[in-house]
Structure 1
Amino acid sequence: MDDVTKNRYRTGLEVRRSVLGSPHVDRAEDAATDFDRPFQQLITEAAWGTVWARPGWSKRERSIVTLALLAALGHDEEVAMHVRATANTGASRDDICEAFLHVAIYAGVPAANRAFKIAKEVFAQMDGAKAAHG
């Protein structure tokens, strides 16, 4: 790995942790095998070390766009993960609602309906965890 790639990976790991949380990143890193480790490196460098680390957009803005894209594409697990990540990015529940309303118009009502359902489930889990921790 050259220095540029190492720096991009390090930056990506920092950004990934700041958005998804260290426990999530640690689980992904610990679960990596020789087979999928190159994939973990790719997403850390490209998604997190390049795109998410770019100047110009805040993490909140990137979070909103990411949620809309994932919902439009029907990537349910990723929608749930990124709804949870809004606790770290600053995207509000109102922001998420607005993003999913755009999904309804531009990608279809069924995609938005599914995304709203997933978000409500995640919010219930988050609210329950918050209540349990006082």
Structure 2
Amino acid sequence: MKINNELLTKGFIVAGLMNISGVLTFSRIFTNPVITEFDNQAMSNFGLLMIVLWGFAYITVSKNFYNLKWLVAVFTLEKLIYATHWTKWMTTNNLTDVLEKDKMAGIFYTIYGINDWIFFVFFLFVFIRLTRERLN
């Protein structure tokens, strides 16, 4: 199956929209204190704002990612870091505690790492593809 650049462009846009809409929705536009309470390092309001900015970065390069192989590598690494952080968080915290305190925060913690793992694989795929194309 050949995946064309138009489909990959849509992947970058979806990745960006997931970051932006996910953070803004579940944080209630940065007013949900429960998200920051349970991970005040990565999920502080500043950290959440940076996630939104990453989302805008994905969208910004969506139409010319094929010229930005090393930036795609940075996106890959960024998603790996967040996904790994989430996996560690899930193994050392009780999600039920978050859900009982605030359903929106609990849903956020339930899904954000899955999203990051999915887009880590996506960005890795794109990076590998761009690397192989440059070799040919």
TM-score norm. by structure 1 comes to: 0.30
Whose relative contact order is higher, 1 or 2, with alpha carbons under 8 Å and at least 6 apart? 2
